[in-house]
Structure 1
Amino acid sequence: MHPQAAPITAGGRLRNKVPLLPLALIVSLFFLWGVANNLNDVLVAQFKKTFTLSDFQAALVQSAFYLGYFVVALPAGAYMRRYGYKSAVVLGLCLYGAGALLFWPAAVFATYGMFLAALFVIACGLAFLETSANPYVTLLGPASSAAARLNLAQAFNPLGSIAGVLIGQQFIFDGVTHTPAELAAMSAGAREAFMKSEAAAVQLPYLIIGLAVIFWAVVIVLTRFPSVGVREEGVPLERGVLRRLLRDGRLLGAVAAQFFYVGAQVAIFSHMIRYAEATLPGTADKSAAGFVTAGLVCFMVGRFAGAALMKRLKASRVLAWFALINVLLMAMAALAPGREGVYALVASSFFMSVMYPTIFALGVEGRSDDERKFGAALLVMSIVGGAVLTAVMGVVSDRVGIAHAMLVPALCFVAIFLFAQQAWQRAPARVPA
């Protein structure tokens, strides 16, 4: 039996009733895209081993993935406005599931390019989900509890991230890593068998993920959701909104800060396994993945701690201090490789936790509905920083070593600190993390 649609205000928001089943289904999306995002950290290490890649080539996993966000974010915003939030969510899930299912033929042919294409399709789906799910959660209930609902939804994202790493650690990694000399000593047949075996390790996990995501899309299609969205309200698109946003210094500053933040986060998590293997001799990939899990736990704890701090301090002040601390932690990782450096990378996750939602909220606060939607799309586009800066870090690592490559995210956190300093000088803003 479908839940009845709740009463809607003229602004497209529920008056007083929270539709629990629709809300639970949308909140689950935060978990699902967390799984996909952090499984990539495992894939970087897995494909480096499978295809004997350089650090730069392995980083193309993240480049292909986050390029999808950049390409699709604005079309997702336009689609959402035309066809509604629910339709955008369903399309996003279908793309996510299709990309995951493409891992099976990619593994059969053991072709790195096919894996990158599958990741691009997944990312296109996630761009739809991230662009639509955040504002949709705020509309599924009264305005007075919108922040609480969004905060609850965001808490499921690091849980999904932890699940993604654990899936990779338990079902993809086998703990077997051959040195270049050992691979060179193998016969051509033995090397090919090893490569196909390692490529096949991703088939079953991604098959299950793909089928589960498509099943979730079907459940959402069959569930009655409240009618919310600009199209139903009959509000025409404000002319020149994109042109105006592209001249808005505050929004452009947030877009730049988000570019550097996502680049830093993805680069750190993508190379954490590699860093641990390189600086802690004898550490296998399966064991090194444990540091990524620890970092994600710190990330989740940091999100709640940051939210508590923002009840007392400006969000921009918390952002500035957390960015500065991470500059110091990245310097430690670069200058003190080994156990201290690994611990610094894990600890940095705590201070990264509040950055994405805080930058996002500081960029769109106080805007009209159309400005908020398309501003959100521009901020999602800035996720391409994960593609660009992870590849840059791979190049630096190939030339000067993985430890000194940690200076790349250090510079990113400097940029975030400068943005936070500018925001600090404006009116107080307490932003839920």
Structure 2
Amino acid sequence: MDSIVKTKKNNQNAIIIIGILFFIFGFVTWLNGTLIPFLKIICELKTDTQAFLVVTASYMAYFFLAIPSSFILKFTGYKKGMALGLIIMVVGTLLFLPAAANRNFTIFLIGLFSQGAGLALLQTAANPYISILGPIESAAKRISIMGISNKIAGVLSPLILSTLLLSNIENVQIKLSTTINTSDKNNLLTELSNKIRMPYLIMAIVLIILAIVIFFSSLPEINDKETVTQNENKSTTNKSIFKYPHLWMGVLSIFLYVGTEVLAGDAIGIYGNAMGMPLNETRYFTSFTLTGMLIGYLIGIVSIPKLISQQDALKFASILGIFLTIAIYVTHGYLAIFFIAMLGLANSLMWPAIFPLAINKLGEKTKIGSALLIMGIAGGAILPLIFATLKSIPKVGYKLGFFLCLLPAYLVILYYSLKGYKLGMKNYK
């Protein structure tokens, strides 16, 4: 009995610690919505496609570093791996200081990529960890709890950073457009750029403290033998990772889901700007989308698996995404913005459902499978760039560009919820 109580307490402590990490994921990731217009101004970028490299640099790190992260975790274990991921994030965060001083877009991108590298290691560790820390059937519920922590941070971070960086921004833009003297213009841009230094210095200090706390915490380690027990599939020992079609379909679904999530969160402001809405308004739009996601996670906690299965939750979320995509295309103004924000609700249960469905029955290959799924986060780098390119084509524009990016993605995810998650399952013992 004492052993059961101790295990339950350890699991509760682990969930709290992982919840803090998911808060960090959300806080850092959803700063991009504010950084896109801010860096476009201070670095004097000419196009939205250039500005969207902010998202590309952040999310492409997952593609390049998710697999190496799985090998790092084999040597470090989950706890030390998470601490290492936080230290890597510190390096990227501190790069913002010289980048701001020189208004150097390249250094900003390197800093964002470094942050993404740390996040890749953290995500590769934290997502399978929370999935395995209990029955696989209720994994979506635990991930939904993590999602609440993530999205609360996501709601707060753009509000905080936009208040610090973009307050009175319209007056600054007017001054910049009317100032002829190059020296005065540079002084204005430098003054604006320096606003970012203190927030990122504070963020680096917080990350260092958290890394130390994680390293010396009592976070229980989960080894490969426990992973096989929780996620059993005896046929994995000699089976190639390429022989799991439900996993690879899951990777594609994650890729497309993250792309739609980033479009709904980070591109909603650009969408509003394209319809003539002022930056003083659009800087808050990312928080609206994340509020929708927060509501969805609360629904997931209450309903999964008691009232609805993971795959049914994914199915209904996909159908809602398809409906909202059509609604965005046929509406305009603030109503269209409302429907984009509602995509947050549709997207909320996708990660919690796709991830456990995709790693189901992987057994000892769970770490590498999880790493492949984390690679799929690169969809957040690709889909926004496709949108930025499409919207610049006169015959396409932002409305049709948004539609062409979202609809195929939700259709593929719907297929995964209906059949894709079962692909190859009859071959597993």
TM-score by length of 1: 0.86
RMSD: 3.2
The alpha-carbon distance between structure 1 residues 174 and 375, as it changes in their structure 2 partners (threshold 3 A), is same
8 Å CA contact 1:102–1:118 kept in 2: the answer is: yes
What SS does the corresponding residue of 1:269 show, helix, strand or coil? helix
Taking the aligned partners of 2:312 and 2:366, their CA distance within structure 1 comes to: 23
Q: Which moved more, 1:189-198 or 1:418-427?
A: 418-427
Distance 1:117 1:136 in 2: 29
Cα distance, 1:394 vs. partner?
0.9
CA distance in 1, matches of 2:235, 2:389: 43
Overall identity of the aligned pairs, in %:
25
Among 160, 166, 186, the alignment partner of 2:159 is: 166
After alignment, is 178-187 or 102-111 more displaced? 178-187
Shift of residue 176, structure 1, vs aligned partner: 1.8
**Deviation per CA, 1:157-180, whole angstroms, max 9, x where unpaired?**
111111211222211212324779
Instruction: Give 1:349 shift.
Output: 0.8
Match of 1:97 among 84, 90, 99: 90
Q: How far apart are the structure 1 equivalents of 2:238 and 2:150? A: 29
Residue 18 in 1 paired to residue 14 in 2?
no
Is residue 52 of structure 1 aligned with residue 45 of structure 2?
Answer: yes
Rate the CA distance shift 1:18–1:425 in 2: closer, same or farther, 3 A: closer
Task: Give the conservation status (yes or no) of the 8 Å contact 1:242–1:374.
Answer: no
2:406 to 401, 406, 409: 409
Matched, 1:259 2:255: yes
Structure 2 unaligned segments of length 5 or more: list them. none
CA distance in 2, matches of 1:87, 1:202: 30
Q: Note if contact 2:250-2:421 (Cα within 8 Å) is conserved in structure 1.
A: no
Gaps of 5+ in 1: 1-5, 9-13, 429-433
Aligned residues: 414
How far off is 1:330 after superposition?
2.1
1:143 and 1:326 map into 2 onto residues whose CA distance is 26
Structure-2-length-normalised TM-score: 0.86
Maintained 8 Å contact 1:298/1:350: yes
Counterpart CA distance in 2 for 1:242 and 1:344 is: 47
Aligned to 1:74: 67
Letter aligned with residue 158 of structure 2: V
Bigger mean CA offset, 166-175 vs 417-426: 417-426
Residue in structure 1 matching 2:240, options 239, 244, 247: 244
From 376, 381, 389, the counterpart of 1:387: 381
Residues 396 and 147 of structure 1, relative CA distance in 2, 3 Å threshold:
closer
What amino acid sits opposite 1:72 in the alignment? L
Whichever residue aligns with residue 204 of structure 1, its letter is: M
The alpha-carbon deviation at position 140 of structure 1 amounts to 6.0
Equivalent residue letter for 1:420: S
Distance across 1 between alignment mates of 2:369 and 2:105: 34
1:338 matched to which residue of 2? 333
Following superposition, the deviation at residue 143 of structure 1 comes to 8.9
Deviates more, 1:336-345 or 1:414-423: 414-423
2:131–2:356 Cα contact (<8 Å) kept = no
Deviation at 1:341, TM superposition (A): 0.8
Give yes or no for contact 2:245–2:423 (8 Å, CA) kept in 1: no
Counterparts in 2 of 1:22 and 1:250: CA distance versus 1, 3 Å: closer
Distance 1:88 1:380 in 2: 15
* Structure with higher helix content: 2
**What is the Cα deviation at residue 79 of structure 1?**
1.2
1:291 aligns with 2:285: yes
Counting only pairs closer than 5 Å after superposition, residues 334-373 of structure 1 correspond to structure 2 as 334-368=329-363, 370-373=364-367
Partner letter of residue 30 of structure 1? F
